[in-house]
Amino acid sequence: MDNGPIAVAGPGKTLLGGVGSDITFNTRYPFAKLDSTNLVSFQNINIFFGYDPPNPDGVSNFSRVTSIYTFKHGYKYIPAIWCIFQRTGFGDQGDHTVTKFGPYGYENGVICVSSVSGSAQFARLKLWADATNVFLGIEKIYVAAHPDPAVNLSGYSLLVRVYCFVNDLSGNDVPFQA
Amino acid sequence: MSGAGIFITQIGASVPTAADYQFVFNSDWPSLQTAFEKTVVVPAGGAVVTVLHRLGFFPLTFVFLTQNNQFVGRADIGNTDVACFIGKQGLYLTNNNVSSSYTANIKCYNLDLQKPHDYTLPKFPAVNQPYDPTVGIKVAKYGKDIHSTDLRDFILHSRAQSPALLSVVTERSAVTSPLGGGLERISYTNPAGYIPWIGGYIGNNGTIYESLVYNAAGFSVQSPGLTINPPATTLDFNPATGGATLIILRDPLILPNPVSVNFNSNPLIGDFETPVTGNFAYNPVGNLEGWSFLGLAGVATNGSAFNNPNAYSGTQVCFLQEGGKITLSYNFPFTGDYTLGFVMAWRLGQINPIAIKIDGSTITTYTVPGAGWNPSQTPSFHVAAGAHTISFEGTVTSSDVTTFVDYITISGVASG
């Protein structure tokens, strides 16, 4: 690997033979950076659903997104974003959501399924962002012709972890790239 | 800590005595460095886009997707249209959407998915830390000013923290999966009281792709697949088609003192961020909140030719010109008394009072009182549980006047 002017190999590794994460510091490559002075960089959001987000009508519209939380990320560009969530208090609604999917999911992951018959109505966490804000919402998928009811999120919670990186999506982060 | 290397601690901690979690950077363990980055368009229709990274190993890779200047999710995970297969020298992206292309920003990190690591000592991130510009270390990118305040200009900056590696588990430690069917399983036992950030990757004919923790369609369990669970995370895979890797970062999933959002109080039902328009559009179709736009009604983005103010929330607003009208069928969860909150603004001083109706009956008519966004709410109204139609409607049909609307919320209390 071609290292930059300053490079440090990890314990037991050499600069000449090191590949990938063997080189723990390398001025050739910028770090993924989270501003440690900015709480938004590590946003943790606990969402309690005392109220069930609205369903699509299931006839002409099978998907409906309800915005539930927006925060300003503080940058003037679209940052790289990671998201992961934990479901809390979700009971089974016919399809054993937590049992089957586990309590954690990534952005746009399913948070609840209602499926006794297997037709599967479900809701998932939506995350999107522009150059100012990060948006969290719930997308509910409901088809009236299917026998199962729409999922009901009342009484449940999501604990959402969002990383907003200083690194943007312009494609210009890595210097000297071939 | 080894004797040599680069070590940066939080302010107030010294390198020889600092606890693991007090290190902002420690060269004893790898932090994520971006080894390759490229932005490409992935066209609709399934054609394979090849991007050569030439790193010589299978890099941990995230592909961030944007459309109309909005981040809409990551390939494989946040977006089910675009898939990314990771090779030793290149990446292969496909887009199964037949009509919409995506712009993909690819970040390959300096971490080999096939090389196992096993570090210990979970490290909590330095959240909301003070920063003293007189101490620490900064390494600027070539040609960038070392005094820049834009953290993007730096390779390393002690004000910034990078996710660091805890462990990499590969198929070399696999055992027979209890799921049967010839599957094998790799697993990672979480430190006590600590669920780290974990990603799972599965091999497939010489390439690697990110494994889901859910079935994208939501219909059944993805098997084989990744399951994050305390006390351990498991990844089941088919050894006949390739290997598997778990990436475990040093950052816990859950931190104390989260922001609390109570969806009971005033859910946002009208933000009008969709459909995205580059300027303004009458009667747009595809509002994901479910609003319908009738007559001279639509959405406008910041800076549009419609002379709207910048959005109160997000980047788009609704406009109601003359008798333009928006409607939403809303499922009121209980019988009770409700209130709608909203903000409105005039267009160039024009006056178009807006009638707010439930099932066609006017609750109130609101007139924008002055410049800028004006927050207000309706009087409370009583409805029975179930679907009712909310509408906002311009009342002046005799002249070209417009009112802008944004940030419609609803709150209610149950009553008989």
- pLDDT tens, residue by residue, B67-85: 888 888 888 765 668 888 8
- Closest-CA distance, A105 to chain B, in angstroms, reads 6
* Residue B2, pLDDT above cutoff 60: no
Q: What is the dihedral of CA B275, B277, B70, B340, to 10 degrees?
A: -50
Asked if the structure places residue A126 within a domain, the reply is: yes
Look up the CATH number of the domain holding residue A129.
2.60.40
Asked if the structure places residue A140 within a domain, the reply is: yes
Asked if the structure places residue B1 within a domain, the reply is: no
Asked if the structure places residue A173 within a domain, the reply is: no
Residues 31-90 of A with CB under 8 A from B: 31-39, 41-57, 61, 63-71, 78, 80-84, 86
The residue range of the domain holding B403 is 268-414
Q: Cα–Cα distance between B153 and B144 in angstroms, integer?
A: 6
User: Looking up tokens 């990436």, which residue turns up?
Assistant: B247
| Cβ–Cβ contact B294 with A under 8 A | no
Asked if the structure places residue B292 within a domain, the reply is: yes
Answer yes or no: do A59 and A133 share one domain.
Answer: yes
CB contact under 8 A, A107 and B34: no
Answer yes or no: do B41 and B75 share one domain.
Answer: yes
Answer yes or no: do B218 and B324 share one domain.
Answer: no
Residues of B in contact with A107 (CB under 8 A): 73-74, 77-78
| Cβ–Cβ contact B254 with A under 8 A | yes
Answer yes or no: do A45 and A76 share one domain.
Answer: yes
| Cβ–Cβ contact B274 with A under 8 A | yes
Answer yes or no: do A163 and A83 share one domain.
Answer: yes
Asked if the structure places residue A92 within a domain, the reply is: yes
Asked if the structure places residue A177 within a domain, the reply is: no
* Residue A135, pLDDT above cutoff 90: no
Asked if the structure places residue B294 within a domain, the reply is: yes
Answer yes or no: do A25 and A109 share one domain.
Answer: no
A59-114: pLDDT as tens digits: 877 888 777 787 888 898 999 998 888 877 666 566 556 666 667 778 888 888 77
Answer yes or no: do A50 and A112 share one domain.
Answer: yes
Answer yes or no: do B352 and B282 share one domain.
Answer: yes
Answer yes or no: do A14 and A93 share one domain.
Answer: no
Answer yes or no: do A96 and A43 share one domain.
Answer: yes
Answer yes or no: do B237 and B276 share one domain.
Answer: no
Answer yes or no: do B314 and B395 share one domain.
Answer: yes
User: What are the backbone angles phi and psi of residue A99, rounded to the nearest 5°?
Assistant: -60, -40
Q: Minimal Cα distance from B112: which residue of A?
A: A20
Residues of A in contact with B59 (CB under 8 A): 20
Answer yes or no: do B394 and B306 share one domain.
Answer: yes
Residues of A in contact with B139 (CB under 8 A): 6, 27
Strand partners, B261: A47
Q: Minimal Cα distance from A44: which residue of B?
A: B258
Asked if the structure places residue A174 within a domain, the reply is: no
Q: Please state the pTM of the whole predicted model.
A: 0.70
Asked if the structure places residue B14 within a domain, the reply is: no
Smallest CA-to-CA distance from A42 within A159, A126, A161 is with A161
How many Cβ atoms are within 10 Å of B32's Cβ, its own excluded? 25
Q: Cα–Cα distance between B333 and B79 in angstroms, integer?
A: 30
DSSP state of A131: S
Answer yes or no: do B287 and B242 share one domain.
Answer: no
Answer yes or no: do A51 and A82 share one domain.
Answer: yes
| pLDDT for residue A119 | 63
Residues of B in contact with A35 (CB under 8 A): 151, 159-160
DSSP state of B335: S
DSSP state of B313: S
Answer yes or no: do A22 and A102 share one domain.
Answer: no
The residue range of the domain holding A68 is 39-168
Which helix (H) or strand (E) segment holds residue B51: the answer is strand B49-52
| Cβ–Cβ contact B5 with A under 8 A | yes
Pairing of strands A156-168, B90-95: unpaired
Residue B132 vs residue B397, higher pLDDT: B397
- Number of structural domains (chain A) is 2
Q: Cα–Cα distance between B340 and B171 in angstroms, integer?
A: 55
Look up the CATH number of the domain holding residue B384.
2.60.120.260
The average confidence (pLDDT) of chain B is 82
Among candidates A11, A65, A131 on the partner chain, residue whose Cβ is nearest the Cβ of B28? A11
Answer yes or no: do A89 and A70 share one domain.
Answer: yes
Answer yes or no: do A97 and A22 share one domain.
Answer: no
Q: How confident is the model at residue B26 (pLDDT cuts 50, 70, 90)?
A: confident
Answer yes or no: do A63 and A139 share one domain.
Answer: yes
| Cβ–Cβ contact B79 with A under 8 A | yes
Strand partners, B190: none
Q: Minimal Cα distance from B52: which residue of A?
A: A178
Residues of B in contact with A6 (CB under 8 A): 139
**Which value does ipTM take for this structure?**
0.85
- Number of structural domains (chain B) is 3
* Residue B47, pLDDT above cutoff 60: yes
- Sign of the CA dihedral running A128, A129, A130, A134: positive
Q: Minimal Cα distance from A74: which residue of B?
A: B150
Per DSSP, the residues of B340-394 read EEEEEEESTT----EEEEETTEEEEEE---SSS-EEEEPPPEEE-SEEEEEEEEE
Answer yes or no: do B238 and B292 share one domain.
Answer: no
- Closest-CA distance, B316 to chain A, in angstroms, reads 11
Q: Minimal Cα distance from A104: which residue of B?
A: B228
Q: Cα–Cα distance between B319 and A128 in angstroms, integer?
A: 23
B215-255: pLDDT as tens digits: 333 333 344 567 766 677 888 888 887 788 888 887 655 55
Answer yes or no: do B175 and B297 share one domain.
Answer: no
